[in-house]
Amino acid sequence: MKRGAWCVCACACACSGNTALHVAVVHEQLDMYDHLVEYCGAWEHVRNNRGATPLLLAASMGKMEVFQHIYNRRCGGRGRGGGRAGASGRAPAATRGLSSANGA
């Protein structure tokens, strides 16, 4: 990160109310997200100034891998591929159609 970039990022975080968890979502830093929750006690249900939790932010940005990672953590799974799809074996309703909407 360039020297001036930190100032821009810090200002953007302060104005938007984004926490370190939100920033980890934006930059797709799954290991950092886990570290913040498991070792730093970050609360996964925290909301920014727009009322978005990290999970909602990931969904709204179309970051499918990040969304699934956070969703799996909440459902008892851990990390990439460690969760379960649910009783129906289908993806959560909130994720259906995201991949086609993003051109994936």
Residue 25 has pLDDT above 50, yes or no: yes
Under 8 Å between Cβ of 1 and 38: no
Domains and CATH numbers, the chain: 3-101 (1.25.40.20)
- What percent of the chain clears pLDDT 70, i.e. is strictly above it? 59
> Average per-residue pLDDT in the chain?
76
SS3 call for 33: helix
Question: Which among 83, 85, 73 is positioned nearest to 38, based on CA atoms?
Answer: 73
| Per-residue pLDDT tens digits for 36-87 | 999 999 999 999 999 999 999 999 999 999 999 999 998 875 544 444 344 3
Which of the four pLDDT bands, split at 50, 70 and 90, describes residue 8?
low
**Per-residue pLDDT at 90 exceeds 70:** no
Confidence of residue 16 (pLDDT cuts 50, 70, 90): confident
DSSP result, 37-62: HHHH---TT---TTS--HHHHHHHTT
